[in-house]
Structures are given as structure tokens and as C-alpha cells.
Amino acid sequence: MRPEPLQIGPLSLDTNLLLAPIAGYCDLAYRLTCREQGGVGLACTDLLSPHGLLRGTARSLDLAQTVPEDTPVSMQLYGSDPQIMGEGALWAVEHGADVVDINMGCPVDKVTKKDGGSRLMVPDEGIEDTPCRTFSLALRIVEHVREVLPSHIPLTCKTRLGWAHDRDAPRLACDLVRAGVRAITVHGRTTVQRFKGEADPWAIRRVVDAVGDLSAGSVPVIANGDVKDPHSCARMLEITRAAGVMIGRAAIDRPWIFRDCWHYLTTGEIPEPPGPVEIAQIIGRYFERMVRYRGERHAMVQIRQRIGRMTKAMVSPDLPSVKPLREAVRSARTPADVREALDAFCGGRLVALPAAVLGHA
């Protein structure tokens, strides 16, 4: 079935593929790097603290930073105080958000202990007979944020299947829709699972069916979890019948995954993967964006940490080792050293690049 670009409330996207929030990764520099490759319908910021935004802390402002090319962008807020979440949502809109998302999936203790993140998905009857009012709180947050947001800005939620049981997910999702969310992303694991096991597309399908019946298809459900390539993307859509797919971890190694998935979904063909020189150029542009938006210090720390992961896709029978490039970047002391390492690699001076690889830039 040919995919439709996604519609979230009044917002029309170019595709039905979304870049997931991945705390520590999906800042402006990375979102632009994925967008440049094509196929991204909507990109999301990392989770943002509304307190941090309202106080103007440097870290929150860095994470919420956006520019006109970074459109459409969703800003994700976490927390449990409806009032503060409402103020944070307004701040987000005043600072460029096209969509405001509420985090209901984060399993990290620091967030859930304060009733934020996936704690909001605990049904009111509680866990193992311990009643808990956090889902009611989630509904109050959604209702309040919906009330204060301008009507053209859709409010969305990113959830898991539930805290402990996937049986809760369809009911909770329908209540969120009644409270005013215009799209729901479901990561196909429970909080208790964290990242163990596989995401369950059949459990996501039950949410899709329930929300579809309730909203007559006007509120899209976006499926998320373990999509690694165009085939797993097509399979996720086929099983779940979701309106869109959100991709996280796979986009860190391959920012071009959205282009590949969209091309495959619309034509049945998978584009040629970028060659090692092209990948090095993508990494180079990403590095320059980090320097520009977050400063040299940040860019140097990040590039040294990420070079391994970002060069994974270079390894092929033509180029079995990219060790010299990784080592040169990891030992770089200045941005000029990083640029020199990438240039030397692209020019075949760091690793003996076969002619076929050099030609495939």
C-alpha cells in the first residue's frame, strides 16, 4: 500500500517518517543532518525541561535551539505539573515549535520518580494493587496544555505500551485522544521492559485500531521501535497499520535512513547507500553544524565519541577497516585536526581507498 504523507491536526508533513527524540543526540545539528538527507517528515527535540526553558538555563536553550531550515519541528516536554507544562508549551511555540509533544515514555528513574515520563502511563488502578493517580494527572496535563496552546499547534504524546502491561495501551491512548492530543506515538515496549526484547508491532496495532475507531482516522498513531531499515519500516507499517513510523537509534548510524525508507515505501526500490567518501562528507557537515550551533568544545567532545558509530556504515568488502580515520578523529586536538582527518580520508591519504570507492563520492 502506498504511504500517505502524515497529517497531524492542521499540519501537513512531506512524509510519514519521524526522527525520534534521542536525548544527547537529536540536537539542531543532528536534526539538520538527517533533514539534509531527505525523507524526514517531522523531527523532534530531545526531551526538554519546562523549568529549564522558563528559567533560560543554557542546557535547555541549547537543546531547544532551532532555525528556519529545521522545520517542521516538534518540541518535547517532560514533567508532571500541568501549569508549568502549559507555560513550557507556550515558550516552545514562541521559540519555533510547530508541534508540542508530551513525553510519556521515558523510563529513567530521575524522571519517573517525579511522576513524569512513562510514570504518566500508569493506569489509575495502579500497579500490583497500589493505586496511583498519574494517568489522571496525564489527562489534566493534556487538557491544560491543549487549552493554552494556539489552535493551529497540534499537541501530541509519545508513549510506551504502558507501564507493565500492554493491555492498558489502547484504553489509555483513547483517553488521551479524548483529552485533546492530535497524534500519538507508541514505542512498542512497556516501561518495565525498558529496551529489552523486541518492540511488539501487534500491540501497537491494537492501539491503532482503538484510536482509529474512536477518531474515525483523524488522529494518527505513529509506530516506533526497532525500525532499522526500509524492510523493517515497511513491515512495521504493514502489521500495525499505523499512519507513520518514528525512527531513533538507526538514524544515529545512518542519517539517510528516512530517505531510504520513504523511497522504498513509495517506489519499492532502495537507493544506493552512500559510499565512504560521501559518509565522511556528511560527518564533516555535521561537525561544522555542531561547531556553529554548540561551539568548538562541544563539537570536539561529540565527534570523538560518535566517530565510531557514524563510520559503521562505511565498513564494506571494499573498505574493511576505517580504523585510521576513527583514530585520527579521536586523537584530534582542534577542529582543524578533525577537518584535516576527514579531508585526508576523502583524498585517499589516510586509508588506501580503492578507485571504486574514491569515485563514489
User: Which residues sit at the interface with ligand FMN, rule CB under 6 A?
Assistant: 20-24, 46-47, 76, 103, 105-106, 158, 187, 224-227, 247-250
Residue nearest to ligand FMN (CB): 248
| 106 labelled catalytic | yes
Which of 26, 44, 106, 346 is an active site residue?
Answer: 106
Query: Quick check: 33 and 255 in contact, CB under 8 A?
Result: yes
Rounded to a whole number of angstroms, the minimum distance from the CB of residue 23 to ligand FMN is 4
- Please state the closest distance from residue 50 (CB atom) to ligand FMN, in A: 14
Distance, in Å, from the CA atom of 49 to the CA atom of 59, rounded to the nearest integer, reads 10
Q: Which of 91, 94, 215, 89 is nearest to 154 (CA)?
A: 89
Q: What is the DSSP letter of 316?
A: B
Minimum distance from residue 160 beta carbon to ligand FMN (Å): 8
Q: In this complex, which beta carbon is closest to ligand FMN, that of residue 245 or of residue 319?
A: 245
> What gap in Å lies between CA 299 and CA 291, rounded to an integer?
5
Residues 6+ apart with CB under 8 A from 230: 260, 261, 263, 264, 265, 270
Beta-strand runs (E) in the chain: 7-8, 11-12, 17-19, 42-48, 73-77, 99-104, 155-159, 183-187, 221-224, 244-247
What is the C-alpha to C-alpha distance for residues 360 and 296, in angstroms, rounded to an integer?
Answer: 30
Using an 8 Å Cβ cutoff, are 356 and 318 in contact?
Answer: yes
How near is the Cβ of 280 to ligand FMN at its closest, in Å? 24
- Least Å distance, CB 187 to ligand FMN, is 4
Establish how many alpha carbons lie within 13 A of residue 91's alpha carbon, considering only the half-sphere containing its beta carbon. Answer: 21
- What are the residue numbers of the active site? 106
